[in-house]
Amino acid sequence: MNRALRAAVMGVLLLSPVALSACSAGQVAQTAEQNRDKVGGEANIGALAIRQAHLAYPVSGTYQEGADARLVVAIANGGQTDDTLVSITGEDFRSAEVTGTGAAASSAPASGAPASPSADAGLNIPIPANSNVYIGGDGPLVTLSGLSQAYGPGQTMDVTMDFQRAGEVTVEVLVGVATRDLPRGEPFDFSEQRAEGSDAGAVD
């Protein structure tokens, strides 16, 4: 590539971000957006960033219809004002309740065992300014009760989070996968299959 052509290509690459930003000028900005990666759902609304939203891996391998599931999600408040997670709703479960604190995370129901709902009908989970809250981790435990159908690892459901100040945002929550090696069955013996095939083809 000669020097003049190389300079022209570099000029196009450098000007592209400017052109793209100019094209978006005047459009109404999105107040909330969601994405999903291999770990869980992501969303942004106002000063809040929601990351790695997923359900704990079902101990039995699958959540049965009507079962309860523990929600795991990190919420970061990058603003200067406190907020509160008021409620979590969705069409794929009956209700969401605070069922404990982070110290009891390992014993939270995750395979269909009934949860013990909190006395408060709302969640009312504080999301302080300039801080992170880990639901299902070091923070409060939230259980989604009464799943509408069976769910296995890798499947998703839409969950709507309602914040007192930031408003509502819908997150695509991923059903978690196992974080440890699962027991494997007996390995298939190919040599035995070949031996059986040889016996069958032998002529008496």
Determine the average pLDDT of the residues in 154-174.
96
In a domain, 163, yes or no: yes
* Structural domain includes residue 78: yes
The pLDDT assigned to 1 comes to 52
**Can you give the residue range of the structural domain that contains 169?**
32-175
Residue that has been written with the tokens 């699962």 in this structure: 182
CATH number for 150? 2.60.40.1890
User: At 76, which helix (H) or strand (E)?
Assistant: strand 69-77
Domain count, the chain: 1
pLDDT class for 22, splitting at 50, 70, 90? very low
Instruction: Determine, yes or no, domain membership for 67.
Output: yes
pLDDT tens per residue, range 38-71: 578 999 999 999 999 999 999 889 999 999 999 9
Do 68 and 145 touch, CB atoms closer than 8 A?
yes
Inter-CA distances, 16 with 4, 20, 21, Å: 19, 6, 9
DSSP state of 13: H
Residue 186 falls inside a structural domain: no
- The HSE-up count of residue 158 (CA atoms within 13 Å, CB side) is 7
Query: Please, which pLDDT band fits residue 200 given cuts at 50, 70 and 90?
Result: low
pLDDT of residue 106: 38
Q: What's the pLDDT at 190?
A: 54
On whether the CB atoms of residues 43 and 32 are closer than 8 A, the answer is yes
Kindly write down the DSSP assignment for every residue of 87-142, as one continuous string: EEE-TTSSEEEEEE-GGGGGGS--SSPPP---SSSS--EEE-TTEEEEETTTS-EE
Asked if 99 and 143 count as a contact pair (C-beta separation under 8 A), the reply is yes
Instruction: Judge whether 81 lies within some domain.
Output: yes
Q: Which of 5-14, 114-123, 175-184 has the highest mean pLDDT?
A: 175-184
Give me the pLDDT at residue 191, please. Answer: 59
Summarised one tens digit per residue, pLDDT across range 69-126 is 999 999 999 999 999 999 999 999 999 999 988 754 333 344 443 343 333 347 999 9
Q: Is the pLDDT of residue 159 over 80?
A: yes
CA–CA dist 200, 194 (Å, integer): 10
| Residue 178 pLDDT | 74
Dig out the tokens for 126 from the structure.
Answer: 């504080």
Query: Is 194 among the domain residues?
Result: no
In a domain, 137, yes or no: yes
Q: What is the pLDDT of residues 124-145, one digit of tens each?
A: 999 999 999 999 988 899 999 9
SS3 151: strand
- CB of 78 closer than 8 Å to CB of 49: yes
Mean pLDDT over each residue of the chain, to the nearest integer = 75
Residue 188, pLDDT above cutoff 60: no
The predicted pLDDT at position 158 comes to 96
Residue 79 within a domain = yes
> Is residue 32 exposed (0-12), middle (13-18) or buried (19+ Cβ within 10 Å)?
middle
